[in-house]
Amino acid sequence: MSDFPAYAPSEEHELLRRTVRELADAKIAPFAAEVDEESRFPQEALDALAASGLHAVHVPESYGGAGADALATVIVIEEVARACASSSLIPAVNKLGTVPLLLAGSEELKQRYLAPVARGEAMFSYALSEADAGSDAAGMKTRAVREGDFWVLNGTKMWITNAGVSQFYTVMAVTDPSAGARGISAFVVEKSDAGVSFGPPERKLGIKGSPTRQVILEDVRIPADRMIGAEGTGFKTALATLDHTRITIAAQALGIAQGALDFAIGYVRQRRQFGRPVADFQGVQFMLADMAMRLEGARQLTYHAAVKSERAMRGEPVADLTFVSSACKALASDVAMDVTTDAVQLLGGYGYTREFPVERMMRDAKITQIYEGTNQIQRMVMARQLLK
């Protein structure tokens, strides 16, 4: 086996894939259309994932988690997204919210906050963006002012995934306005902290089952030991976090695309026109071939990036992690948008209706090109890595 590429999934990874797919098909997919239609949180998915220990598989064993590697986490997110993109944001956002702690948090913070996430008692969201600080995240206005043994936070975070449902939040705030990006620090804020509230749920094109809301901080007073890492290192931690979690968005995109491709293949085999299955027509066959080819290319790049992410989390130097994580996110999300659009086309008029899932998948795919850094930003990041 030593001659296999480093990112080849092991037998354990493939067993995990089968396990998650069976669970997703049985306990998540049946509710996906309803979750989308009603714009409600997929509680059935959270319950099923937590019962099987699949809601936050990345949490290390030392904090009560499964200790799954980055590739295993990608496979979990991919397989859940194949059934329901909204539900895949449960394991994905749990990772996004907790990676800052894993990278820079004190041991006490890790023990306090990772353990309940591992047990399925809490979810963890990530609060970086603001209304005027999206792609330019360093332009944030949220402030944290030191008062003795406490920090007092004021500001509003925007587009926060699973806001209001998650119990814990990694919040970036300015602690030194004169220092630019080096004046940003990271904190753990709890939903129950006095002064924390949430805006109304955004009315969205897709991922309607995952609430996206403002996190509003009004004189939120938290103990100083809830700072993640040293003062002024928050933005560095934020960027390092995204190097790892862009890969999970790629995984989500892969799953959405795979779900659309699988459904389209089944449909064109059954649908008959001109006295024969639609699948017999060469034009349709070429579309399917291109969909599958591009999807597999994106999958291989994503798995490759996942292995690099795992090595970096273990402290190994990985010079090109930023490049490959941006590359897989941009490629996989572009592929997901193309594949889901083609799936709608293959279903013809039926594809444009809510009677079939591909229109939902097409709507869900769009956000993967936007969040955790738009694909235009990803291309800027990649270019900088190439030219530096």
Residues noted as catalytic: 372
Q: In angstroms, rounded to a whole number, what is the distance separating the alpha carbons of residues 308 and 304?
A: 7
Give Cβ neighbours of residue 350 (< 8 Å, ≥ 6 apart).
Answer: 267, 356
CB-based contact 246:324 (threshold 8 Å): no
- CA 90-189-78 angle, to 5 degrees, is 15
Q: In angstroms, rounded to a whole number, what is the distance separating the alpha carbons of residues 188 and 120?
A: 18
CB-based contact 250:329 (threshold 8 Å): yes
What is the longest distance spanned by two Cα atoms in the chain? Answer: 79
What's the count of helices (H) and strands (E) in the chain, helices before strands?
Answer: 11, 10
CA distance to 30, 46, 215, 338, per residue, from 261 (Å): 18, 25, 36, 11
Closest CA to 253 of 314, 322, 202, 329: 329
Burial (CB count within 10 angstroms: exposed 0-12, middle 13-18, buried 19+), residue 57: buried
CA distance to 62, 87, 297, per residue, from 316 (Å): 20, 32, 26
Q: In angstroms, rounded to a whole number, what is the distance separating the alpha carbons of residues 381 and 364?
A: 24
